[in-house]
A and B are shown apart, each in its own frame.
Chain A
Amino acid sequence: MAGKPGTTPTTYSPSPTTQKTRRPIFNENDVDWVRPDGRGFHQCRPAFFRTGAVNAASGSAYAEFGNTKVIVSVFGPRESKKAMMYSDIGRLNCSVSYTTFATPVRGQGSEHKDFSSMLHKSLEGAIILETFPKTTVDVFALVLESGGSDLPVVISCASLALADAGILMHDLVASVSLSCLGKNLVIDPILEEESYQDGALLITCMPSRYEVTQLTVTGEWSTPKINEGMQLCLDACSKLAKIMRSCLKEATSTSQE
């Protein structure tokens, strides 16, 4: 505190808090509305990936989807904690944190406590843990700015960082989420759309093997809607994996020169 040391006055954000009622553009019966950023319902935001963002790490990646900005570092394989029991296979340790300025209201990022275990579950099936017995691989993610669909971006970025660190995997893990708004399915939702959603669906998969590592469905869904949503996400995942793969190829070709 530069002004008054010792005292922490209570503060509030002057920006108007989001209304509880749904904005008219997300009307249930209206099928003609446009998304706030002008995308089509089944159109993802442009994805940007870059590996080698953090020099101090064994592998790292930066991902930017619209306003969602994420950085992931991978450390190891390195010595496990002393308290750990002997293990024939390697361990995976994941942690996701938010910067205090990531969310519109300061310090809201600590609400996402479950993201670390979700990240762990989506990656453990893809990594060949037998290749680094007795040791641990640490995957640390920091959300620099939250713009919606944070978890899928973190997961895709983490698998890219693992590849950058040279950790053996069955395939890259790509992840896409989808919001159900009334009768409509919107893919790769932004923060505003997520706050009004009736249901959410998240798929993480290994597109080349056509295997799903994690599927999360919350909220109100009908079976045909789930099928439709899953198909949309799987298609988007395979496209996303292509972008990730080309990013890795680009990185190796530039380092060879």
Chain B
Amino acid sequence: MGLPDAPGDLSSEVDVDAFRRLFPLRFYERHLTESIRPDGRPLGRARDTTIALGAVASAEGSALAKIGSTTMLAAIKMEVMTPSMDSPDEGCIAIDFHMPPICSPIVRPGRPAEIAPVVSKQLSDTYFKALTSYMCCCSSGMINLKELSLVSGKAAWMAYLDIYCLDADGALFDAALLSAVAAFSHLQIPAVSLNDDGKIVVVSEENGGKLEKDAVNKERMKLTLKSIPFSLTCVLHKNYILADPTAEEESIMETVVTVVLDSSSQLVSLYKPGGPVLAYTSAIQDCVALTRQRMKELQKILDEANSGMEVD
């Protein structure tokens, strides 16, 4: 931020900024007629996306996903449980989504009630519930819970997946799902064995030899991910479809559509929580088409992140 040389420059700059704050909708509509967005993206393009695997050393699997400045950190911790009678040889996945107060000026600690009136629908509790339950559906389709079994009827893995939003700038669901999927692809299930008390313990290098007779998993293993879900959120405004909205865009144009497709382009879920724009089927089809494109990009980014890990 150097000092402006000409005072004329400064005044025009302030005018644009003031206009943006006072008439945000008109500001955006002017851009939309030119088929461009204020951050220089065409309407259908998502922001730059990166994935970093293994960000948390204390968890068995973790990933940091960034879409633009929206940042999500997902980590999986594996614990042992007794499986239920109905499904004695299945493990379990518990998913939690957290919005700590660091991520956004509208979230304040210990006062969840105050969030609701201030923030638009997207951040309210129902959104979180929807988000968590969607994520569960996605991941249960992706993961074979039988792979999480250790000793039938006695012990199975419980995978605690916790997703933290570190920076909220729109398209939270997309970033959360991407970080969750990446964390599962990074997850390494530790080698464990059954000790004399009937408890499962991790096989460490020191005492690995003597416990070998009761080994349950001989070596560290990875889960096989059947079909990986990827999502894209779009904002609808009049006839325009804006892919991967920022927080500002989400707050000005309130109708969002989230499409989740799996890696074989099958529709996993479609979410349009009301909103002032009533979408035609054609608009929904356009959203699905955009998601299909985006899925290929995301698949590539995820593959690159995973192959980068193998080299190390």
Binding site for B on A (CB under 8 A): 1-4, 7-16, 53-58, 60, 67, 69, 71-73, 75, 78, 95, 97, 99-104, 106, 138, 140-142, 144-146, 255-256
Asked if B91 CB lies within 8 Å of chain A CBs, one says yes
| Number of residues of chain B lying within 8 A (CB) of chain A | 60
Binding site for A on B (CB under 8 A): 1-2, 55-59, 62, 69, 71, 73, 75-84, 86-87, 90-96, 98, 100-105, 108-109, 136-137, 139-140, 145, 158, 160, 162, 164, 166-169, 190, 192, 199-202, 204, 247
Q: Nearest chain B CB to A190's CB is how many angstroms away?
A: 12
Chain A residues with Cβ below 8 Å from B104 are 56
- Docked Cα-Cα span, A207 to B59, in Å, equals 36
Cβ A14 vs Cβ B80 within 8 A = yes
Q: Which of B80, B87, B102, B164 has a CB less than 8 Å from the CB of A4?
A: B87
Q: Nearest chain B CB to A178's CB is how many angstroms away?
A: 23
Q: Nearest chain B CB to A255's CB is how many angstroms away?
A: 6
Cβ A1 vs Cβ B136 within 8 A = yes
Chain A residues with Cβ below 8 Å from B55 are 144
Chain A residues with Cβ below 8 Å from B204 are 16
Q: Nearest chain A CB to B287's CB is how many angstroms away?
A: 26
Cβ A101 vs Cβ B162 within 8 A = yes
Chain B's interface: helix, strand, loop or mixed, by majority?
mixed
Q: What 3 A-B pairs have minimum CB-CB distances, sorted nearest first?
A: A3-B92, A11-B79, A73-B102
Q: Nearest chain A CB to B191's CB is how many angstroms away?
A: 10
A11 and chain B: residue at smallest CB distance: B79
Cβ A14 vs Cβ B190 within 8 A = yes
- Docked Cα-Cα span, A255 to B2, in Å, equals 9
Question: Given known contacts A2-B92, A3-B87, A3-B91, is B57 in contact with A10 (CB within 8 Å)?
Answer: no
Chain B residues with Cβ below 8 Å from A73 are 101-103
Chain A residues with Cβ below 8 Å from B169 are 55-56
Chain B residues with Cβ below 8 Å from A9 are 81-84, 92, 158
